[in-house]
Amino acid sequence: MAELNGAPVTSEALQALALINYGHFTSMRVQDQQVRGFSHHIDRLANDCQLLFNTSLDRERVREFVRHAVREERGAFVVRVTIFDPALELGHPTSSAEPSVLITTRPAMPLPPSPIRVQTVSYRRDLPEVKHVGLLGPVWHRRQVQMHGYDDALFIDNASFVSEGATWNIGFFDGERVIWPNAEVLPGVTMRLLNQVHDNTITAPVNIRDVPVMQAAFATNTTIGVRAISAIDRIKLTDNHPIFETLRKEYEEIPPEQL
């Protein structure tokens, strides 16, 4: 399913997105026409639109496009809302600023997902605070680590401080507190929600040297919820720590919002 501004999308309308690749998006796991943190996702779109296109985004208009596109969908699925300008020109990207709203859907994976093994790579996304469509770097690194037998890439800086995964946030548990790395990352909606409902939570620098003393590590985003990380490089971690079920329960108890 794909709709652009509430109507079936044409290939011509997608040329700018495919060829110039300038825009931003958010993805949401929908369950029975409800989304946890839906208003946070809309806020993200509005904030990123102001930054990338220097124009305001009509939040209610976006909501209506989402409702219209998925009105007949049932059960669990993932909806992606992409904001881009079909008239954008590569040579003159300031000549147009009329972003359109593309709605697409895909199946949702069963929850909870299986644990993953990740490999660290030195990398920082462009504009890490924005969920933009420029995914070459993250996907390239994901491809490289999968070719080495890992499931996904975990980004670190030149001093080996942890930031984020390819398309997810990472959290650690030291036996008392959930620790989110104090780094330039995309502030994920799932991470924000967990930060609100889990009492003993801090943000602090996390170096790879700190990982062996951690009791657990996990990935979060809207499609996976809380996913155990069983290894970082050659450092093995437990994939059945009670903190995983605690966080999943706290997350599931957050009242979802109606589309």
pLDDT at residue 54 tops 80 = yes
The pLDDT assigned to 95 comes to 78
Mean pLDDT within 15-30: 95
pLDDT band at 220 (very low <50, low <70, confident <90, very high): very high
Mean pLDDT within 26-31: 97
Mean pLDDT within 120-132: 97
Token pair 């437990």 is at which residue? 238
For residues 198 and 193, give the distance between their C-alpha atoms in angstroms, rounded to a whole number: 9
Domain ranges of the chain: 2-107, 116-258
Using DSSP, how many helices (H) and how many strands (E) does the chain show?
Answer: 6, 16
Q: Which has the minimum average pLDDT: 32-46, 92-106, 195-209?
A: 92-106
For 33-51, the pLDDT digits (tens) are 999 999 999 999 999 999 9
Mean pLDDT within 82-97: 89
The pLDDT assigned to 163 comes to 98
The pLDDT assigned to 32 comes to 92
Are 25 and 129 in contact, with CB atoms under 8 Å apart?
A: no
The percentage of residues in the chain with a pLDDT greater than 90, rounded to a whole number, is: 95
Q: Hey, is 198 helix, strand or coil?
A: coil
Q: Among 221, 239, 223, which Cα is nearest to 231's?
A: 239
Top CATH class of 2-107 equals alpha beta
The pLDDT assigned to 250 comes to 98
Architecture of the domain spanning 116-258: Alpha-Beta Barrel (3.20)
The pLDDT assigned to 97 comes to 78
Token pair 């825009």 is at which residue? 23
Same fold, 2-107 and 116-258: no
The pLDDT assigned to 52 comes to 96
For residues 222 and 232, give the distance between their C-alpha atoms in angstroms, rounded to a whole number: 22
pLDDT at residue 96 tops 80 = no
Q: The pTM is what?
A: 0.95
